[in-house]
Structure 1
Amino acid sequence: MATDPTVDPTAIDIALDPMRQHLIGITAHKHLPFDVPVISEISRNLWQGGCREGLVLPDFVKHLVSLYPWEQYDIRHTVDSEMYVRMYDSAEQGFEQVDALAAWVNVCRETGPVLIHCQVGLNRSSLVAARAMVLSEEADPAGAIAVLRERRSPACLCNEAFEAWLLGEPVEPASDSRNPE
């Protein structure tokens, strides 16, 4: 009987639980240290976080908005909706789709918990979560940013272009040393 040498025949089935794990590192913008849960509750039916391949999507999540298609949750239950959008954590990232994404998040929040995720849950998902709170009139832009920094991490929206856009300030073209391609 032939066996696949790339598979451990003695491996046990492990469910990686994002409610118990943390993401730890240094941000690319401002070089801020962070130690955050994989996902955090931000507001009513609004969750935000990061993702690692193999993490099991918590059963309570009914809607998934992924801004980081390079890694995906293992979905083992029926969700009502999934949306996958490629966004970069770059000063050059456009904002054209943010209002539509935030409006969709708010529609989904009416029927159950929404998880918005990017790689770590600090910039891309913060941008959409904050805008959703603004569009739903839960907070003004500065208030939404404060909520994210209190409930998720002080490193949220360390991408200055994202924060400036939310605040309605001019977004300066930056010399972003990371090529998003």
Structure 2
Amino acid sequence: MSVALETVLARAGLKATAAEFLELVEDAARRLAPPHPTPGAYFSPDQRDALAEVGLDLSPRVDSDPDPRARAVATQAVLRDTALTVTEVAAQLGVDASRIRHRLADGRLTGWKDRGGWRLPAWQFADARVLPGLDVVLHAVPPDQPPLVVAGFMTTPQEDLPLGDRQATPREWLLAGGDPHRVARLASVMGSPA
């Protein structure tokens, strides 16, 4: 299996051995809440009735159901594996590492503290530069949104961002010179009920 996994990792451009990647997956799975066998237990009887009334299925998950955490764990592992250190970003942008830390503090770059220091998601960089208009977008992102949610938003096509005959991701939109304020408006409601 490790040879097949290393082949997949190489094709995806991920710089990790099979063992390192599996360690990331295990760590991400540990961080996620364990699956709850009875989702209805999270709610009061009145809440369960209201949710059932609008069609939400609160029945316990059965063993044959796919585990919804699997995709999240894999995505989290890839996000962490492809993230860059402050030193790597500084070298890529041709600036001092202190400027990168300053941009993180000002909210002009996003990242998280991990063992060994800051990690910055790679999606916010292209061609040895920061995405144009990224600072406008990041200032609109609600502060309670974790890096995985922000990465998902920035790399998922949005119907409000047409690019030619298709929907663009916010990242593609910014790279194509699209108005960052348009992306910021979408980002500002991230995590809000639809």
TM-score (norm 2): 0.25
Larger radius of gyration between Structure 1 and Structure 2: 2
Structure with the bigger percentage of strand? 1
Compare relative contact order (CA 8 Å, sep 6+) and give the higher one, 1 or 2: 1
TM-score (norm 1): 0.27
